[in-house]
Structure 1
Amino acid sequence: MTQLLLIEDTPSLQMVYESVLRGAGYDVVSAGTAAEGLQHFRKIRPLVVLLDLMLPDRSGQELMCDFLELEPETNVIVVTANGSINSAVEAMRNGAYEFLLKPFNEQRFLHAVENALADGARARGQRPRHTTNDALISTFVGSSSVMQEVYDRIRSVSRSMATVFITGESGTGKEICAQAVHSTSHRASGPFVPLNCGAIPSDLLESEVFGHLKGSFTGAIVDKPGAAAVADGGTLFLDEICEMDLNLQTKLLRFLQTSMIQPVGAPKPHKVNVRIICATNRDPLEEVRRGRFREDLYYRLHVVPIHLPPLRKRGGDVVEIAEVSLSQFAREEGRSFHGLSDEVKSLFRNLSWPGNVRQLLNVLRHVVVLNDGPLVTLDMLPIELHHERERLASPFAPGATVEQAKPHITLDGLMGMTLAEIEQLVIEETISRHGGSVPKAARVLDVSPSTLYRKRESWAKTGKNGA
């Protein structure tokens, strides 16, 4: 018999929960107040606590924090009314294992308890590490303040079953972040299964996620377990989640609610114990507004958000990452590099890095393969970085404002031009420096894109378009 602690102040609900749990073979200790619940907790140290967030004598959030301070491996399932979902999400971010919104069905209730007990027993059995930056550095490199916030968020969700939603530009390391969440959790010994939703044709994605049986469709020559089944006991990472077909989004939502999967061609579903982490380089709320992503699925997935900052916002991290990666690549390629020249460090700090960390790693690999140190110098860098360096020296470099550019403009080149001609020169040069993107140029010039479109249309009509 496994002992659970139930804290629910409504007598009728307490009786219902007790009946369901005992009917499933669980030993339950109940309390109606926070004080009584804390007293029982200190005595029995349960693996799992079922906690109503609305208690008469104290905040359920505060009580949960006390539990986790006393016994960090305890899995707390918070229970709250449907109108208090924000409180449940906040509890998940503070370390709750799972949340249940009233009313919920018996199957959902027992499944949450079963998963929490399984993960709790595994955690107490192996006494999982409480990771610090040292463990995270094995995958992430960087000590900037923005990355410290990312590390803190990863550690805060390590004991939870909460779905993690990672956002960030392409190349910022979203899969590395997902692996870090997995490796610092109680599921670290289980599988980590990544699936790129944008790289698989929509007609095959359902089979990739949920599996299929032999003969269920043309080409299904053998039974195939889907990623959700392979990830049983571990973590399923759904990258580029916003690329998922709307019909499959419906099935994913059902899976999240029931933990049941039904392979294509299978007569009935079966249950798996999987934690979901997803990621996208798009704005998920914008995808919801455009009707490309289900709103109910968004709120089910967007429990613990983690945003990875672009490399250009990480300060000195770019040099730190470059030096660590340079050392690794030099070992792999048998080269004698041991650092970056001061000029290269300065350039790296000032580049915009549109491809983020992925671009930086490609640059360093290029340098190491074609050169042999001992320092990375400017002449070793690929040609595209030299073009970027030239743009940085230009008064109309990407990201520069007109005010920032003024000290670099020589009047000799502008003398004799009308104010309208100077305006057109500035606008067209800024658009050109941003790859022809009018919206990007508008942000730099601090005007609306419609203003630039209108001016260019006017110039085209008068034959003065310099684009």
Structure 2
Amino acid sequence: MLHSPEAANAPVLVCDPDPAVRRLLRAALGRRDRLNMMEAEALESAYALAPHCVSAVVAVGPGGESAVTRLRSAGLKGALIATLGQGSVASAVACMRAGADDVVLKPLRAEDVVERLLQGEPARVERRRSSRENDRPAPATSTTDFCGFLGRSPPMRGLYERIQRVAASAAPVFVTGESGTGKDLCAQAVHARSPRHAGPFVALNCSAIPRELMESEVFGHVRGAFTGAIADRAGAAEAADGGTLFLDEIGEMDLALQAKLLRFLQDGKVRRVGEGRERQVDVRIVCATNRDPVEEVRAGRLREDLFYRLHVLELSMPPLRERGDDVMLLAETFLARFAGEEHRPMPRIGPDAARVLQIRSWRGNVRELQNLMRRIVVLADGPNVPIHLALEGAGADEIARFGSNAVNVVPLPVEAASVEPLALTERRAIERAIATFGGNVAAAAAALELSPSTLYRKRLAWQCA
């Protein structure tokens, strides 16, 4: 049972990559009159939302104690239930020692998890109240840690300032940027810094939901509305009442549903699928796309009237290649985190590896860098980041820019000493280099300090011989 009005009104954080689990927990919380809920799909998002929540249910992976520690460090002072897909007594104990109030193994029963969560809240609510000066969201204290963002480059400083200004408004926000730049984190920052921060934050990825289910996901449905609708269910718009609804990849929404969304934005009324009556809700809309929205309108994939209704305040996410020294800051942070999660030593980024990271184009942005750092932690053998791993996934143009420093990308296997014609030795070296780089002639040429045209010319000569 709840013993504190504060606990009953404050938001609960639910973080799980499975949307079905999030829906089950949302429904279970709703049955206990806990309607304020902030959702997160990934741990990075949970770290940003943690300071604004009274308690949390968070799915943690292997080495989950590091995630628990980060949640506590981020400012979560309430009850914390860690859920594990698989684990042992040792991993559960490690999570508890790191600060979790309870650990639940999947598959989980939502009602049981919520019961454990609410039982753990009363003892922690007082700690939250005493450590908080007022009910407003805390101001950013550092340009290297703003609502989960990490970076101090001029483009990021400008973004932080603009988020602060935009968050104070009630107008819709349109977030643009390439894939992997953190548009979802930006939406959560807008919510966390807004007057609605105590309300729910509900995210919906329009590209991940089948078209035939999209209307139900947004507006809800009543029992019997369609096959499989076995009970009444509120949609994302209702779930976000009093808070923020984030529509990711808005251009993927069906045009017919875009028309209904437009009507909802005009009058704030929701009609569940299969129901005659309308319900009034109060939500702020934040949407995002990784495409050019103006081009999407021209191509007929985004309604022009909906675009102008949503495109009131724009936030543009800078690509990683324009963020300068943030690349190294992020790389070091990811290496340290993944080394802890994988229980491996943290490799050092030497001068050559640093140069590789700084000249890369990062077409996948922060997500690409994050994935690369995890691969390096798992695959690196020595104390330093190997150059060939730092170059993994790089294009020929990036390798060419790296130039002569790539000559030692992969040590060539040592063969038995023998005397052979110089031309044959050269051919073996070239073929070995090309094989090492998976057939990428430009990369092999950079490693051998030759021009790609030289390699092409020699290979042609060998074929004609």
Q: Which bin holds the TM-score, normalised by the shorter protein?
A: 0.5 to 0.7
Q: Using the TM superposition, give the Cα deviation of residue 373 of structure 1 relative to its aligned residue in structure 2, in angstroms.
A: 5.5
Q: Deviation digits for residues 130-160 of structure 1, max 9, x if unmatched?
A: 3344585351111111111111110002222
Aligned partners of 1:227, 1:302: CA distance in 2, in Å? Answer: 21
Specify which of 270, 273, 277 is matched with residue 286 of structure 2: 277
Give the superposition deviation at 1:388: 6.0
Alignment of 1:68-467 (within 5 A): 126-133=135-142, 136-337=145-346, 339-371=348-380, 374-381=383-390, 383-385=392-394, 389-392=398-401
Describe the shift of the 1:222–1:174 C-alpha distance in structure 2 as closer, same or farther (beyond 3 A).
Answer: same
Q: 2 CA distance for matches of 1:254 and 1:178?
A: 22
Are the aligned partners of 1:343 and 1:377 in contact in 2 as well (CA < 8 Å)? Answer: no
| Change in 2 beyond 3 A, CA 1:266/1:375 | same
Report the alpha carbon displacement of residue 312 of structure 1 after superposing the two structures with TM: 1.1
> Alignment partner of 1:194: what SS?
strand
Secondary structure of 2:203's counterpart equals strand
Q: CA deviation at 1:370?
A: 2.2
Residue 229 of structure 1, CA deviation: 1.2
Corresponding residue SS for 1:296: helix
Is this contact kept in 2: 1:353–1:359, CA < 8 A?
Answer: yes
Secondary structure of 1:306's match?
strand
- Cα 1:354–1:253 change in 2 (3 A) is same
| Separation in 2, partners of 1:188, 1:298 | 25
1:387 Cα deviation (Å)? Answer: 5.5
User: TM-score, with normalisation over the residues of structure 1?
Assistant: 0.55
Equivalent pairs: percent with the same residue? 52
* Superposed CA RMSD: 2.4
What do residues 211-258 of structure 1 show as CA deviations (whole Å, max 9, x unaligned)? 101101122122221111111122111000011111111111111111
Deviation readout 1:273-323 (Å, 9 max, x if unpaired): 211110001111111122221111111111110111111111111111111
Aligned letter for 1:167? T
Structure-2 change in CA distance of 1:273 and 1:133 (3 Å): farther
Contact preservation (8 Å) 2:248, 2:288: yes
Partner amino acid, structure 2, of 1:277: V
Letter of the 1:202 counterpart? R
SS of equivalent residue, structure 2 residue 256: helix
- Cα distance in 1 between the residues matched to 2:257 and 2:389: 47
Higher relative contact order (Cα pairs below 8 Å, separated by 6+ residues)? 2
What residue ranges of structure 2 are gaps of 5+ in the alignment?
1-132, 405-440, 443-465
Give yes or no for contact 1:363–1:382 (8 Å, CA) kept in 2: no
Instruction: State the Cα distance separating 1:327 from its structure 2 match.
Output: 1.1
Q: Quick check: 2:222–2:275 contact (8 Å CA) kept in 1?
A: yes
How many equivalent residue pairs? Answer: 274
Conserved in 2, the CA contact under 8 Å of 1:337 and 1:372?
A: no
Q: Distance in 1 between matches of 2:330 and 2:208?
A: 28
- Structure 1: gaps spanning 5 or more residues: 1-123, 396-431, 434-467
Could you say if the C-alpha distance between residues 324 and 135 of structure 1 is closer, same or farther in structure 2, counting changes exceeding 3 Å? closer
